Structure 1
Amino acid sequence: MPERKPHILIEGFADREDFSSRRRGRNPVIPLQDRHQHGQSISGQYASVIQSYDARRAQAPPPITEDVGIYVEIVGMPDCELPLDSLDTSRDFKLRSCRKVDDHEVAVIFVPDSRRGIFQGKLEQYLDPDKDGKGGPRNHNLVDSIAEIKLADLQSFWTDASGLFPQDEDQVVWWELWLKKQPGVEEPLHILLQLAERIGAQLGNTSLTFFDSTVVLIRTSARQLSPAPELIANLEELRRAKETPNVLLRSSPKEQYQWVEDLNGRVQLNADISTAITILDTGVNYNHPVIGNFCNEESAERWDPTWPRYDNHDPTNAFAPYNDHGSKQAGLAVFGDLHEALMSHDPIVVDHRIESARILPPTGNNDPELYGAITVRTAEKLAIDRPDWKRVYSLAITSEPEALGGQPSSWSAEIDDFSFAMDEAESRLFVISAGNNAHVAPQPDCWDQVNLAQIEDPAQSWNALTVGAYTERTTNDDADFDGWSPLAGFGDVAPSSRSAVSWGWRKHAPYKPDVVEEGGNRLLSPDSTEVTAADVVSLLTTSGKTTGQLFEANGDTSAACALVSRQAAILMAEYPDYWPETIRALIVHSAEWTTRMSERLGLLYGQHSQKLAKETVLRTVGHGVPDLERARYSANHALTLIAQDELQPFFKEPDASASVDPKLHEMQLYQLPWPIEVLQQLPPELEVKLRVTLSYFIEPNPGRRGYRRRYSYQSHGLRFEVIRPGQTLANFRAFINQRANEETEDYSGPEGDNEGWKLGSQLRTRGSLHSDTWTGSAASLADMHTIAVYPVGGWWKYRTALDRWQNSVRFSLIVSIDVPDENVDIYSVVETQIETQVEIEV
């Protein structure tokens, strides 16, 4: 085995420079309508809205909020984007939500009473030829994009699937109610208390707060809630309240393999441990003779103080509550597959502990709560006594996906917010399972079944590391299943996994899962009519029992989530100075597609374009299977450089008015210490690899207002670009940066060859984690020593309240060079260059 070497954390190899994007967005094309006919129609509809509102207002009780106005529903033309900027101005109109209904966009806007004439004035300008500009009728983009205007009702605020809206107006249900936060205006929760009292509704016990929204639960009927648009001016949207999340357990008892005493005798636990995996689940039995080494009562919390910290198994009472899913997760999070640890005779060194955060009740369901609040606030309890510990938050509890798969929910957004940690010194790392397909069938092919099973909530979280499952468990030596065969082949996606292939929101959503890990297999009956989850193709872990059966089987994406959580904790303990963004990046950076996954890609090439084929694999198995050894260490011939840095994405000119949007601000240009001479001396036919991964966290904006430009979900975005072989530095800067382009008068396009990238710059840009691999000659790699990290837009750029645009953001950039010849030493060459640079600076 090559000598293990620590990764190299670099500083001082980046130059900050002013930045302006060369890329220009395209404005939506809005077809011209018949001016007179269309303008008169829309004008008549708007007049009818005003008349209906005035009649309704005369019968309504006094409003709760000081701001009084009309909620208007605007239906766009088919296959035409509404100009949301024109529907959300500082004084006239306030966009509350935007959703897609069939091929129409539907927006809800609030028009203050004092500004109701403004829209009519725009219509009059549109109809007046004397007001025409170069592009045609004035306000053409706004008016011609509108198919219909009507007075909003309760269903206008519904942004979930239409079929989920209560059909019985008198059915009392829990609603997720989203309220607009406005600086200097009465707190939304106080307004909600008055609303609940006025309509006779029950409020939930939790709330969530985002940048400009407050989310609460309210129990009432549609009929009772229907006056809300007349009573409050800050209603944004309504969604379905989450059902209790499903814990999909597919395991059965397994005969014990070894004595616990033998295992405990070989465990070496560092007494100075300050790294933990916080398991958010059903509770961990810290009295289990194995788990007790890593967890205790002080490390166990629960959402409801009246709950037991875990369920005791009572063999005399078959009806006693008992769910040991959390304990099974704990065993895998400590040891990985416990079978390997039990069969070994070597010492087992563990540098992390387990914390138990119970978020599910012992019996029945939670009272309706916002699961984002349950998840985060239970986790926060454990940080009170140990605030300096580094933690991996491991969540294998999921619920049905959003109605539009991949779209943010209050749960996933709260995890993103907690991870980003806007007002705190340290960000946080969540590892979340993709959820399990509970209906694995003998046919069709397991790959196709996974493609149809959507990743569950909250695993669409942008900042979390989402884990799906693959399998290498294809051996069946169980006599009880003689003749049964593995359903999935070696190295293929696990039958129980889920994917983002069929997400409806995939245009905006990140690629998920990020990686896959071992999740076990299924066995197929000899006649191909039955599928079973057998112990022989599962993983071994700890049970939740204190005596008797101490080991059990576990599998699916829950097991995969625990395995990746373990890898993250090992990396945190190994490199305590690495940020959570860096740990996430290292795991993805080390991941590779298996041979079988690459074969799947080849098959897809025959059915789709290369871009769609690659995207399908990314949304099924992510970047592949992590390699903990590669994530943890470099070697002489396999070097990893890590930069933990920051930049300020946006800025405003000192004399700019408050209404002017900030501009893109700066980029980082890395000219890395590079083993140029060594690479140039290698045989020209030798293929080498370069891998680049960029990781950062975003602040979420989960209100459903179209997710375009100023309404985007992410606060900001970052991108990386690598200099091409044969490209000069001046040409590279001009290619990336408009400001550098202006300095280079003869710039006519990028120089050099950009072939060799696995994904390419168009495919690797989704989400907040971007990774790609280049393969080519060593001579070409010798030229690829410069990397730019630069910003793109986000809602911070367009929504300037609270001056979010002034913030700097952190990012981690990981760059690896892999030479297949282990006798080649590039590590020492780069290490010497860095030492020399440090000496020069000193």
Structure 2
Amino acid sequence: MAEYEHRHIDLSGLSTTRDYKSPGSNARQRPLQRIREEHGQRIVGKLEAAFEASDLGRADLGTPEGAPPSDGVYLEVELAPSVGPTTLEKKREGTRQGAVTLSETGARRIALFVPDETRDVFEAVFRDYAFTEVDEGAEAPKKSRVEPVEHIRAARLRTFWRDDPLALPDDPQAEMWWALWCFADRLERVETSAQRLGLTVGGEDSWLHFPEVVVLPVHGRRAAIEMLLFSTGGISEIRRASDTPTVFTDELEEMANAFVDDLAERITWPGRDVPAVCLLDTGVNRGHPLIEPALAPGDMHAVHADWGVDDDSPSGHGSGMAGLALHGDLTMPLGDASRPMLAHRLESVKILPPDGFEQNDPGSYGAITTSASSLPEISAAERPRVFCMAVTNENRSGAEPTAWSSALDQISAGVDAIEEGPDHIRRLFVQAICNIADSSRAQDIADGDAFPGEDPAQALNVLTVGGTTLKSEIAEAGYRDWRG
């Protein structure tokens, strides 16, 4: 048992024991105490007012020229806080449930689309509850559907907003990229109307496909988005458009493996006789479904055999580089139905020792890199390859030539061999310009001049690459007003 310098904090006197109660069972929820006549008449009145307001709003917004006319309205239905999960959508009535949001009191507000042709059927549910005569002691009709409802009102744009409330612009003329979660069977209707409204719809390669919805990135004014929303009846929820992968890491975290497996099946994997990207890094863990088919065990090397070839680094740097070198940004491929075809494969050379081994001597960096580049060339001599090294010396700037940068120049120019000749190998070597330490404080990395190029990025014969990103939208909860 480990020994600790300080005593543990004792929380035993602060705990309470309760039996488990499933949040998904309506039977375990506290029953509502409704007076049927009062509640029924109040909700029917709210429903009539909501339909009237929705119809007036629809007339005021109008329909985009040349687009099909609106065939229904959206309502915002608020359920009582004590009510468990309840589905308002009914196929027989043609109603469709969209965004679900929580109020400050814990009440759930649901966007519900009601088609014009079945509006009478939907209204009858509430009228039957409110006005049907029942025998004493008998249950009112449609009680389970009506009594959970606390309020009904005409839906607003905010009803559909599933992002940071402060990120929704108040100005009708404010422009931004929006992520429109569209019902799959109304996608064409939404896309056509968006174009007629002058909105910019992202290309199909930027759409995210899910079983029942398709997410469209659309750029335009808030006023145009409102017209699109209420005239098409095809949008279930709205967020800020973002190419961050939080839809997989947060909203659909439990389905992440399924998305990975699906993409792995859609990819046409490369054969053996294709060019390779050879990574000089911390090694690679090839067991990942999106790496293994493109990285053979025989193409994994280490400068010292006793290091092993797997990625032992805490950050998984080499494995992350492997995924990036093979696929680039995975956000879109994971969510669409494309069939990527890979025309290159991977090779890996581990140039950094794992924990427990002596660290590399800075004076030997050049020799290590030269040795590393020779290993895949010996193993697969006929294969074309590009070398990639995202490792730099943080303790040495790239202001002057060094032994390491000179070694890269020799490797790239093909003059590293002892015996030169007309067939000496010239190599394309892609080298990172520097590495910046992780920091959660913007001021730590705000000054670009504080991070000069690092050794060996000053090598003249390599392709030195700096990094930039346009992924400035941060979607993680609690950080959505931050900028990347």
TM-score, scaled to structure 2? 0.50
Tell which has more relative contact order, 1 or 2 (C-alpha 8 A, sep 6+).
1
State the structure with more CA Rg.
2
Would you tell me which structure has more helix in proportion to its own residues?
A: 2
TM-score, scaled to structure 1? 0.30
